[in-house]
């Protein structure tokens, strides 16, 4: 069986509106999620060491890995009895940073398992992704999506161009934030919108999702992330001082992003801030369909 490679793009939320809590304990959301060129690299290949179960190797990241759960879920759903696999992940997307790094890896693992086995289809991958986490379904097919429900209901969003023409300054943090902790803090702070307000924001986003105006580029979780990590206020000012047209916390944080209409200006800003700790990164939106598995050259 041929070894396969796929990239797992990180993501940012160009908007994230938080709604009421559902009966299952999850929040209703309205979010436009954009995959970025800041990616993890994944390789899936049969184990050659005699191991009898799938193995996930991710240097620098300890504990259970969502990509391993994705492989287990795929085998259980499809009955795939192919040889035990080694999934190797080389991280570039910050961990526990609001950029969907673990979710993107899980989504890429599903793509790789589908390609390796020939089993399943797009609908099954989406169902499995929804069972793994709120951000995973949107990353099964990287690109730009409008996510509603608790993140499991997706609409592909056509951009004004095939590949949106803007640059992204990424300012990571040494602090890791648990998504669950940020949502709990948002609940404590009473940040959730009413169902009526959320519906109004959804109507606005549907009208402009291909090219969101500044007024809709907003993250309701930002206040909760800043409450838990007050230094984010300084990081947002840092991105603004670097020349960003819009700044916001990415997802549940603590990564801060700056959006630049001029890609070269964003690239220059990242270069000027390469000395910071952790270093700034530059990224762009990916074209739809990025991250497709391909054979590893022999």
According to the model, what pLDDT value does residue 208 have? 85
Reported as a single tens digit per residue, the pLDDT across 72-95 is 999 999 999 999 999 999 999 998
Task: Please tell me which of 95-104, 125-134, 216-225 the model is most confident about, judged by mean pLDDT.
Answer: 216-225
Distance in angstroms (rounded) separating the CA atoms of residues 219 and 155 = 19
* Marked catalytic residue, from 11, 54, 105, 220: 11
At residue 134 the predicted structure's pLDDT band, cuts being 50, 70 and 90, is confident
How long is the chain? 298
pLDDT of residue 161: 52
Q: Do 105 and 67 form a contact (C-beta atoms < 8 A)? A: yes
- Where along the chain do the CATH 3.30.230.10 domains lie? 4-159
Rounded mean pLDDT of 182-205? 97
In whole angstroms, what is the distance from residue 141 CA to residue 144 CA?
A: 9
Element housing 283 (H / E) = strand 281-283
CA distance 122 to 141: 9
- Cα 133 from chain centre: 11
Contact 216, 248 (CB under 8 A): no
Identify the weakest region by mean pLDDT among 38-47, 95-104, 152-161, 239-248. 152-161
Q: Is 91 a residue of the active site?
A: no
Q: Write down the catalytic residue from 40, 105, 135, 220.
A: 135
- Topology classification of domain 4-159: Ribosomal Protein S5; domain 2 (3.30.230)
What was the pLDDT predicted at 62? 77
pLDDT value at residue 165: 78
The pLDDT value given to residue 163: 58
Statement: residue 288 has pLDDT above 80: no
Tell me how far apart the alpha carbons of residues 73 and 214 are, in angstroms, rounded to a whole number: 39
d(CA 290, CA 37) in angstroms, rounded, equals 9
The pLDDT confidence band at residue 119, using thresholds 50, 70 and 90, is: very high
With a cut of 60, say whether residue 159 has pLDDT above it.
no
**Per-chain mean pLDDT for the chain:** 94
Write the pLDDT tens digit of every residue in 51-62. Answer: 999 999 999 887
C-alpha to C-alpha distances, 143 to 6, 21, 154, 295, nearest whole angstrom = 15, 27, 12, 22
| CB 102, CB 111: distance < 8 Å | no
For residues 142-164, average pLDDT: 81
Segments of the chain assigned to CATH 3.30.70.890: 167-201+218-283
Instruction: Record the pTM.
Output: 0.92
Architecture of the 167-201+218-283 domain: 2-Layer Sandwich (3.30)
Tell me whether residue 135 is one of the annotated catalytic residues: yes
């Amino acid at each position: 069986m041929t070894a396969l490679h796929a990239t797992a793009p990180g993501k940012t939320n160009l908007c994230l509106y938080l709604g009421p809590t559902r009966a299952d304990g999850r929040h209703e959301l309205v979010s436009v999620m954009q995959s970025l060129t800041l990616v993890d690299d994944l390789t899936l290949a049969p184990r050659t060491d005699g191991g009898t179960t799938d193995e996930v190797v991710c240097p620098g990241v300890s504990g259970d890995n969502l990509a391993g759960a994705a492989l287990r879920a795929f085998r259980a759903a499809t009955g795939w009895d192919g040889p035990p696999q080694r999934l190797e992940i080389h991280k570039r997307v910050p961990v526990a940073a609001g950029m969907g790094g673990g979710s993107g890896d899980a989504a890429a693992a599903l793509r790789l398992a589908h390609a390796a086995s020939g089993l399943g289809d797009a609908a099954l991958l989406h169902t499995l992704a929804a069972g793994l986490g709120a951000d995973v379904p949107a990353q099964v097919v990287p690109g730009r999506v409008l996510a509603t429900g608790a993140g499991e209901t997706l609409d592909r969003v056509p951009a004004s161009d095939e590949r949106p023409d803007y640059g992204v300054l990424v300012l990571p943090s040494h602090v890791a934030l648990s998504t669950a902790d940020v949502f709990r803090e948002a609940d404590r702070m009473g940040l959730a919108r009413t169902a009526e307000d959320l519906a109004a924001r959804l109507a606005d986003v549907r009208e402009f999702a291909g090219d969101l105006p500044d007024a809709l580029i907003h993250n309701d979780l930002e206040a909760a992330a800043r409450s838990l990590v007050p230094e984010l206020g300084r990081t947002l000012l840092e991105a603004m001082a670097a020349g960003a047209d819009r700044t916001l916390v990415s997802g549940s944080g603590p990564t801060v992003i700056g959006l630049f209409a001029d890609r070269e200006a964003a690239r220059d800003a990242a270069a000027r801030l390469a000395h910071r700790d952790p270093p700034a990164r530059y990224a762009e939106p990916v074209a739809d369909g990025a991250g497709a598995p391909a054979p590893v050259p022999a």
